[in-house]
Amino acid sequence: MRQTEEIRHLEEGAIPSERPTKMGTVRFEVDCPGNADLILRRCKEVLQVVIAQSKDQWPSNEQWSLILPEWFIVSCGKELSKEEADQWLNWWRKLKPNEQAQAEAKKKWSLSSWIYWFQPEQRLWFWWDAEIVDPCKIRVAVEVSSWPFPWGALRWLFMAAGASDVRAEDKS
Q: Which domain holds residue 44?
A: 3-168
Q: Domain count for the chain, please give it.
A: 1
Strand ordering across the sheet containing 165-168: 125-134, 137-144, 24-31, 165-168
Cβ atoms of 12 and 128 closer than 8 Å: no
Rounded to the nearest 5°, which phi and psi values hold at 142?
Answer: -125, 145
Res 100: pLDDT:
87
Q: Please tell me the distance from the alpha carbon of residue 69 to that of residue 158, in angstroms, as a whole number.
A: 14
Q: Assess whether pLDDT exceeds 90 at residue 101.
A: no
How many angstroms separate the Cα of 155 from the Cα of each of 45, 119, 160, 168? 15, 17, 9, 10
Global model pTM greater than 0.85: yes
Res 1: pLDDT:
63
Q: Assess whether pLDDT exceeds 70 at residue 172.
A: no
The mean per-residue pLDDT over the stretch 145-166 comes to: 93
pLDDT in tens, 75-92: 999 988 889 888 988 998
Instruction: Kindly indicate the confidence band of residue 171, based on its pLDDT and cuts at 50, 70 and 90.
Output: low
